Structure 1
Amino acid sequence: MSPGSQTDLHPPRLLFWREREFWWLLLLVTLAYSVRLTDLTIRGEETRRALVAREMLQTGDWVVPRTQGQPLYSRPPLQNWMIAGISLVQGRIDEWTVRLPSLLSVVATSVLLYGYTRSFLSRLGALCTGLVFTSLGQVIELGRTGETDAMFTLLVASSLLLWHLGFVRGWSPWATWGLGYGCAALGTLTKGPQAPVYFASIVGMTLLIQRRVRFALQWSHLGGIALFAIVVGAWQIPFMQRAGSSAGGEIYLMDVGHRFLDASWGSFFEHFAQYPVELWACLLPWSVLFLVWSRPGFRAAFTGTGPQVRFQWIALAVAFPSVWLPPGSRPRYFMSLYPCIAILVGTTLDRLATAAQDAEWRRIWPVFVRGCALAIAGAGLALAGVSLIQPDFWLSQSPAFAAVHLAGCALASAALWRWGGEPGEVPFRRSVATIATFVIACQLGVMTNAHQKTTPDTVEAVQQLQQLLPPGTRLYSMDMAHHMFVHYFGEVQYVPWPKTAAEVPPDLEYFCVDVRWQVNGPLPFDWEQIFWVPCTKHRVQAWPIGMIIGRRKHAPALNPSQDVEVDVLATADLDRDD
């Protein structure tokens, strides 16, 4: 296949938005991440993000994140600001409002990757890079939720790639350092200090390896640091003035401290051995292509891409120990570096597409494509079989959907098998697009259906509870209520866990308790459980998560006009004083 013109491979100016491939990528990502975006109820940590945004709008306090009026030291508030701002335009907080920031972040990251890689790859290579990133399983999952991961990934990737693009192409040092530190500051306001730590360590190592340390020893670098301090300080200083100096550290460390609680040597070595395998599996099918890096002569094909490829490897090498060593780390914690992995895979695909047909290392391409064809066919048959034989299995689908899925898998498998043996850019492009589309379609179809089937209906349970309670009832929560419950129920009055009867509000009749707070000890009054509201993503879990709804004894009876069947959790026992 022809490698393309010199202008195509090395455009003198980054006018990528004029290219057809860019618009195809933008259209595919936007449509794929918008389809069925609201089919799942707001769940998991999404309700926490939504609840903080709602309280910002209700109280007018956009500085201190709160739930039930109490400070929440979980994350800095940039994502909450985004959700609240969108809700001001839309008029409500719903699935679209909560998830739109993540969707826009994935779209923006794909644009960033296309633009960055067009500085050293062909249009096909840039397109492949965007398709690889947007078809990674965890990106599809988290990029369609109200979590902070997608936005944080965009900001970390922007800090690194925009800095490096300016460094390589000779931009003004003021712009280069300003973009890098500015995006790192926004990343800090999204999730914490991981963003500036990654930026400073990766950039520092790059300059050290390339013997360009003098680039950091200039006033423009101090200007970038000053910009970082101004952006973060604009929120950090008022926050500490209102919440206290100790809260300034707690809001960054509260959610990450648990990773270091299990410090036994056994858990360390178990995680040390398992984590690379888990991460490699999360990057399938594209992670298979890294095998070509071991083939003789492959690195010689990277003419003109050395600085960019080297920078991605440096970024991965510097950041990887931060998730490899702590035993509590999960693959999703490395998602902010997935754009670097996508660039390496996209560069690999670009070189495979332009390689001579007789190149020894290019033989992996037809093997990879036809291997994906077999895997897709096997996935279709397996899903159809389990749906027919064991319809109650969590992944089982309806007969109609399983049949459509099987037909789609058969068509995709047959097409890939044919294209895998054909030379030329067209079958290569079609193969990459088909594989990416299949992965995305499985997440949108199979996995969304499975989550719908296995997710407890918290909304219905809350509606039943509201019918059960007498009109005008004030519901108290003993300590903090689960954020999912508060999001769907509405106002819940917070009460610190009472140790004595004198600490119990005199008008308390109905109350709720997060089942996890049983460790606080018994309540200082007689009560009975009247309802249970699940607050979890999955019906079957090792430990139940939800809210116990109780009634103080000798209080007025339930609403007599309602006849609601109560699902009482047998294990939910707070040592009642019966």
Structure 2
Amino acid sequence: MNTMADQEITASDPVACTPFLLHAGEQKGLGLILLAVFALATCFMGLAGGPPMGDHECINALQVREAFQTEKWLIPLSEGAEWIRKPPMGTWLIGLSSLLLDPANRQQISEFVARLPSAVAGFLTVWVMYWLGRLMWGYRVGLIAGFISAGTVGLIFYSRNALVDMTMTFFVCLAYACFWRGVMHEPRSKRFMALFYVAFAAAWMSKAPLPGAIIGLPLAVFWFIMVPALRAADGSAGFLTSFIRQCKDLGRLWLIPGIVLFIVLGLSWWVYAYFKVPNALELWETEFFDRYVGGLRPKSKPFWYYLPLILGMCAPYMLSVPESVGALFMKRYQAQRPGIAFVWTWAVVGTVFVSSSQFKQPHYLISVLPAYWLLLAPVVERLFFGPTLVSKRAMEAACNMLVIGLLLGVSGAGIFVFREYPAYILIYLPVALGTWLLWAYACRAYARERRILAFGFLQASVLVIVCFIWPTIGLVITTNAEADALAAGFKAHSVTPSDRIIWVDNRPDAKVGYYSGLRIGRLMNEMEITAYRENRTDVPDDLKWEMVSRIEEELNQPEPVYMIMDIENYEMLLAAIPRLPARELFRLTGFNPRKPGADLLVFTQKSVATRPVESDPAP
């Protein structure tokens, strides 16, 4: 319970927030029902269809299949070796999905089963966005935050992806919401601070160590820099005075019991894995530290790599992203500034961190995107539900220009698709036309001051994309061409799942094992390789000769063994050992036109009775 002193401080504190009331005439129940229906559609519609799963998605599904076979769930196996690159939250959730939906078929985890945890996480993320938006800015803005989150390209795509990133994002969002409710909202609550540490630990168990930077760093900046800056800007206290006050108020964060709770829930598995798996610390150093500083690849993507992705992942609201990022400094959003500062810090600090990493991937951004979706909510609320600030003639002119600009953009994108990806044009044309028509109707309704209807048309365009693009894309787009060709090559030579298949270079392409049912092992597992390597870019000579020795040992076995290797590396192997007892079985050509040496070749013992056959080139 708050003391009288706390209440007096809150009354004059520009950072503290009290609950918002409903605006007159708002229908709470109807809005929540519409949000639920919309989120169900954007997160679950077509989940069983769409394009095939990618390599990393298939890794998760295969780990679950192997866990059911071996009953090893604490440290799952991948190709027969312990997998500790990431914590097992993703494996556990897909396993639970399989037990609930398809308990009789544990040998083949379906795409629907593998992707369901991400869809559930996406749906729950929408509701956390609604809750946090409502806590900071009231019911209407919270509802808009929910609709924006459910309708963005980022959430729609990653809710249909079997990676664990959407699950991590849900727990990151929940941690931020509980932190705000626990210490920034009245009445303050230790219960929600306890939930904050639980959510933080769950995010950590989903994909550590990224949540440490996405949650910990922005909250530290907000607490020690943004809060004093807000008070200084308001004139209620100087920056230094407020900074000292924030240091004294650290007890409100429930630090000691919270850290204990986080250690128990979030770090216990890591301690167990450290003592259970040899070379665990060396692997984590390579996987996490080297990944950040550039030890995984010699050339890094530019610092601004994520900026266009932010705009794309915020579609169809990307035109409002600049204003939403600048809203913190605009007078028109002064009443909403504390909440804006909170999510602005999450967005900016999180983006700077992932941008500073030398290893960049689109899905690394997903846990930062909800901050941008929340920043959009006050802007969209002003544009579609607030007072009109320009004349009707100016509004009509702007809307007409926007319709023309969108048509030019859609046409230009169509030309690009036709030139670069002609097979996709039959998908693009009807979807682009339908989406543009809905956007045009939205602009027309907006110009006539029917802005709620315009917002509805904008949301309807999202449903068009969900209904048509995702189910159809799987019928046209082929993402597993090389994996399919490899599986077909094995089938043509009567290689069965019971035969021994070894992937020599790096780790196996999980798509081959998932879709063909073949059991593909590694010449050396990652724990053995870690003992030789200091980073992921340099391959020491002693590791190369150890691999050569193992290849010779396998080829001298009496049982047939089939080995997959890059063509370039195979030719180097033959040059080093001209009398290698191997014969080429088949090779795949044309799948890597920029680097032909990276195409795959399959070889076996000379004693295996089969004839070498070269596959058809890639289409």
Same fold (TM over 0.5): yes
1:216 is paired with a residue whose SS is helix
Partner residue of 1:287 out of 311, 318, 330: 318
Instruction: Give 1:226 deviation, angstroms.
Output: 0.9
In structure 1, stretches of 5+ residues that fail to align are 1-8, 559-563, 571-578
Q: What is the number of equivalent residue pairs in this alignment?
A: 543
Distance 1:317 1:230, change over 3 A: same
Q: Deviations over 1:272-329 (max 9, x none)?
A: 3555355445434423214446999983333542221110112223223212223432
Does the CA contact (< 8 Å) of 1:260 and 1:326 recur in 2? Answer: yes
Q: Deviations over 1:243-262 (max 9, x none)?
A: 13x41563475166334227
Does the CA contact (< 8 Å) of 1:156 and 1:187 recur in 2? Answer: yes
1:530 is paired with a residue whose SS is strand
CA distance in 2, matches of 1:219, 1:420: 45
2:86 is paired with a residue whose SS is coil
Q: Deviations over 1:65-101 (max 9, x none)?
A: 3212112343111001111121123133110111111
CA distance in 2, matches of 1:237, 1:406: 51
Partner residue, 2:535: none
| Higher helix content, 1 or 2 | 2
Identical counterparts, % of pairs: 14
- AA aligned to 1:531 is F
Partner residue, 1:486: 513
CA distance in 1, matches of 2:503, 2:601: 10
2:603 is paired with a residue whose SS is strand
Partner residue, 1:574: none
Does the CA contact (< 8 Å) of 2:171 and 2:200 recur in 1? Answer: yes
Distance 1:505 1:181, change over 3 A: farther
Q: Deviations over 1:331-363 (max 9, x none)?
A: 532221111110110111112234322359x99
Equivalences for 1:245-324 in 2 at 5 Å? 246-248=279-281, 250-251=283-284, 254=287, 257-261=290-294, 271-273=302-304, 275-292=306-323, 299-302=330-333, 304-324=335-355
Tell me the TM-score normalised to structure 2 length. Answer: 0.76
Distance 1:344 1:478, change over 3 A: closer
- AA aligned to 1:206 is F
CA distance in 1, matches of 2:599, 2:269: 33
1:429 aligns with 2:477: no
Distance 1:143 1:529, change over 3 A: farther
1:531 aligns with 2:586: yes
2:573 is paired with a residue whose SS is coil
Does the CA contact (< 8 Å) of 1:113 and 1:126 recur in 2? Answer: yes
Equivalences for 1:10-409 in 2 at 5 Å? 10-11=20-21, 19-37=29-47, 38-89=49-100, 90-91=102-103, 92=105, 93-121=109-137, 123-170=139-186, 173-209=189-225, 210=227, 211=242, 212-217=246-251, 220-244=254-278, 246-248=279-281, 250-251=283-284, 254=287, 257-261=290-294, 271-273=302-304, 275-292=306-323, 299-302=330-333, 304-358=335-389, 373-374=403-404, 376-378=406-408, 381=411, 393-397=422-426, 404-405=430-431, 408-409=434-435
1:499 aligns with 2:530: no
Distance 1:330 1:297, change over 3 A: closer
Partner residue, 1:515: 566
Partner residue, 2:527: none
Tell me the TM-score normalised to structure 1 length. Answer: 0.80
- AA aligned to 1:515 is D
2:424 is paired with a residue whose SS is coil
Please, which moves more after superposition, 322-331 or 223-232?
322-331
Instruction: Give 1:474 deviation, angstroms.
Output: 1.9
In structure 2, stretches of 5+ residues that fail to align are 1-18, 228-241, 525-546
Does the CA contact (< 8 Å) of 2:213 and 2:353 recur in 1? Answer: no
Instruction: Give 1:45 deviation, angstroms.
Output: 1.0
- AA aligned to 2:176 is L
- AA aligned to 1:491 is R
CA distance in 1, matches of 2:213, 2:310: 21
Does the CA contact (< 8 Å) of 1:64 and 1:71 recur in 2? Answer: yes
CA distance in 2, matches of 1:402, 1:40: 15
Instruction: Give 1:372 deviation, angstroms.
Output: 5.5
Instruction: Give 1:449 deviation, angstroms.
Output: 5.2
CA distance in 1, matches of 2:178, 2:380: 23
Instruction: Give 1:145 deviation, angstroms.
Output: 1.1
Please, which moves more after superposition, 190-199 or 204-213?
204-213
Instruction: Give 1:236 deviation, angstroms.
Output: 1.9
2:46 is paired with a residue whose SS is coil
1:343 is paired with a residue whose SS is helix
CA distance in 2, matches of 1:348, 1:393: 38
